Every structure is written in C-alpha cells, then in structure tokens.
Amino acid sequence: EQLQQMFSGSLVPNNVTMTCTFDAVLSSGNSELWQPMVDFFQSKGLDPSTSVTVYNVILSHTLSRQKAVEIMDKIRELKLKPSRITLMNLVRLGALNSFAELKRFCKKTKAYLSTSHIPGLFREFHARQQPRD
C-alpha cells in the first residue's frame, strides 16, 4: 500500500527501487510481503524473476546451498548474466565448488570474469575449505 502511494504520481519504480524493496522485505523476515511486492512490480512493468540484482539479494539473505543451486539453475535457464556479487554468493554458499565449475558457469551465462575478480573468488573457495570451529 505504501509503495502504491509512493509511485502514484509520476515516479516510476526501477530496478534499484525493486532490489532495495526486496532487500527490506527479506530483512524484515515478513515473507507474507513477498508476493504482493512481486505483483506490484510486475504491474509496473518490472519482473523480479528476471532480475539478477533481486537474485543477489535473495542469495545474500540465505545460508542454504540448495537455494543457491536453485537460483543458479534459474539464472542459467533464463540466460541471465550474473554479476561478480552473484558469483561470490554462489561460491560462498557452495553452489559452485571449484574454479572449473565457476569457469563453466561463466562461459554458459556469458558472465564477465575479470582478472580483478579472481583473487576474491579464490579467497571464497579457500574460506569454504577451512574447518569451522
């Protein structure tokens, strides 16, 4: 309802607005708001199910490897181009288990893997292999 009021005039929601809204919904822990948000943004011509930034928000709020694998499959299926943040989250959550898997996923999704991204990704792989106390 507040979103409807906020965008009732000439203001038009965009991908940033949508991403921040979904982040706030996930942070609040109120999952009942999820579907109304999806419906609202779809009514404004934005589709959260095709937004890599919304998937990044979901990944940053989950600890589930299974959820990460589902999102990775969805990104592949929709032919979305994952960002560096997406790749880091997929590695952190264990959806991508090796640098070879990461390279295959990047090639399949045409993700840009810069040499500046590689040290951070290697750190994530290494951190996952360390025993947790």
pLDDT value at position 31? 82
pTM (predicted TM-score): 0.79
- Checking if the pLDDT of 88 tops 70, the result is yes
At 132 the pLDDT is 52
125 against 93, higher pLDDT: 93
Q: 105 pLDDT exceeds 90?
A: yes
Q: Is the pLDDT of residue 113 over 50?
A: yes
What's the chain's average pLDDT? 86
Q: Helical H runs in the chain?
A: 2-6, 15-28, 34-43, 52-60, 65-77, 84-92, 99-109, 118-129
Does residue 75 register a pLDDT over 80?
Answer: yes
Q: Kindly state the greatest CA–CA separation across the chain.
A: 54
Q: Given this model, what pLDDT does residue 9 score?
A: 66
Give the pair of three-digit tokens for residue 120: 């951070």
Of 28 and 120, the one with more pLDDT? 28
Res. 100: pLDDT tops 80:
yes
